[in-house]
A and B are shown apart, each in its own frame.
Chain A
Amino acid sequence: MYETNYHRASSVDEAAQLMGNAGEGKYLAGGMTLIATMKQRLAAPSDLIDLRHIGSMKGITVNGRNVTIGAGTSHYDVASSDALKAVCPALCSLASHIGDPHVRHMGTIGGSVANDDPAADYPSAVLALNMTVKTNKREIAADDFFVGMFETALEEGEIIVSFSFEAPDKAAYQKFPNPASRYAMAGVFVAKKGSDVRVAVTGAGSNGVFRHQGMEAALKAAWAPDALAAVSVDAGMMMADIHGNSDYRANLVKVMAKRAVAAAG
């Protein structure tokens, strides 16, 4: 790891201010991606602004069907929240399958979404649950947030503070994990609220997480796994690597989507 300068922020404002004074600074949440990346010398920030001690960025509040999750909430805390489980168990289940128990104790929802790894699980939930991403500057709709691989609408120095959404009637997330790394080779989050259906795909797309309009239309017409049988998934949009070619991933997307609808019930 190259040298770096560590700063601990105690409030969102202080963090933004520290970033403003930094050279090539990076925010540090749980560090489960950033520290690993720095060890490989793939990232070399001059300054790290640690967000982990900002109390206002942690915690889950459920008010009726309205859910707000602080960006600094760990995967473990999302997975084990009884209040969240009561209104949106799909999100708890997603969080419970990220990394391993130790990683889930440190990694945060805000860190994962801000990093926007194309194989990360959370971006699919943000998109399918139509979350509002609240930052220290503004509110960003899920559909405007994800720009491409590792690229979001966040501006320089902008910090995600929380996520909020109205719990869906039905939802589920299913992923096909890479047998070695356990990263999603295809992960599909389906959510139904009233007559609206959203289907978000992670792990597979060559441009990062995306919604699949064809599957959404089919599931709006009939909420059942078989409704997806005639929908085509374009292999031209899929990643291809040593773990699977684009046809394979396109097929996986459909299989995961069917499983997700079946799991959502």
Chain B
Amino acid sequence: MTKVTLTVNGRKVSGECEDRTLLVNFIRENLGLTGTHVGCDTTQCGACVIHMDGRSVKSCTILAVQASGSDITTIEGISSGDTLHPVQAAFKENHGLQCGFCTPGMVMTAVDMIRRHGGQLDEQTVRNELEGNICRCTGYHNIVKSILSAADEMGGAKQAAE
């Protein structure tokens, strides 16, 4: 067993696991943060997307020991108390989900996407950027709408602050 130390959602945590333990399993089972999902378990569906050192990654294809020492954000860490993150609020407002299984990965992907594009997104870019996230319910239409709406709001808020 190896000791893994991470900063997860701003809190320093550590735990023991085998070297072959996947990061997603460490997050779900050792830390009890079950918002990050295991969908396909083959690096395709994106239900396991989290942020590692500020970048979106698929936590089913990273060992927990590889991540040791890094700064992790999961779906549980993006709201402020009871106030939803603008991307979460946009998914709620636009009904960007049906069964909800892919949603944590979609939201984490959207947050990273909006950050990289500085809020400047169009529909085609959003659809291309969703290459690594699979939803089997919605046909993506409301997911794309939610992300565009959140990007507008976050871009607008940024301009207002400047």
Binding site for B on A (CB under 8 A): 1-6, 8, 28, 31-32, 35-36, 38-39, 48, 50, 52, 76, 99-103, 105-106, 182
Contact = CB atoms under 8 A, between A and B. Distances in A.
B42 interface: yes
Contacts of A105: 55-57
Interface stretch (B62-70, B84-92, B141-149): B62-70
B54 to A, nearest CB: 10
Contacts of B61: 31-32, 35-36, 39, 106
Contact of B42 (A1, A36, A38): A36
A101 B131 contact: yes
B27 interface: no
Nearest to B20: A1
A101 B49 CA distance: 11
B18 interface: yes
A103 B62 contact: no
A6 B66 CA distance: 8
B39 interface: no
A103 B58 contact: yes
Contacts of B58: 102-103, 106
**How would you classify the secondary structure of chain B's contact residues: helix, strand, loop or mixed?**
mixed
Categorize the interface residue count of chain B: 20 to 34
Contact of A4 (B20, B116, B129): B20
B71 interface: no
Contacts of B131: 99-101, 182
B23 to A, nearest CB: 10
Interface string B103-143: 00000010011001000000000000101110000000000
B96 interface: no
B93 interface: no
A8 B109 CA distance: 28
A106 B19 contact: no
A100 B132 contact: yes
Contacts of A2: 20
Contacts of B133: 100
A6 B63 contact: yes
User: Which residue among A28, A31, A100, A101 has the maximum number of chain B CB atoms within 10 Å of its CB?
Assistant: A101
A28 to B, nearest CB: 7
Contacts of B66: 6, 28, 31, 50, 52
B20 A101 contact: no
B81 to A, nearest CB: 28
A39 B63 CA distance: 11
B65 A6 contact: yes
User: Which residue among A3, A6, A99 has the maximum number of chain B CB atoms within 10 Å of its CB?
Assistant: A6
A32 B60 CA distance: 10
A3 B56 contact: no
Interface string B27-65: 000000000000001110010010000011110011101
Contacts of A182: 131
Given A31-B63, A36-B43, A103 B132 contact: yes
A101 B19 contact: no
A4 B109 contact: no
A117 B111 CA distance: 32
B79 interface: no
A38 B66 CA distance: 15
B2 interface: yes
B129 A35 contact: no
A6 B19 contact: yes
A99 B44 CA distance: 9
Interface string B12-29: 000000111010000000
Contacts of B116: 101
Contacts of A99: 131-132
Contacts of A8: 65
List 7 A-B pairs, minimum CB-CB distance, nearest first: A100-B132, A6-B19, A100-B131, A105-B55, A6-B65, A1-B20, A102-B58
Contacts of A76: 55
Contact of B20 (A3, A28, A32): A3
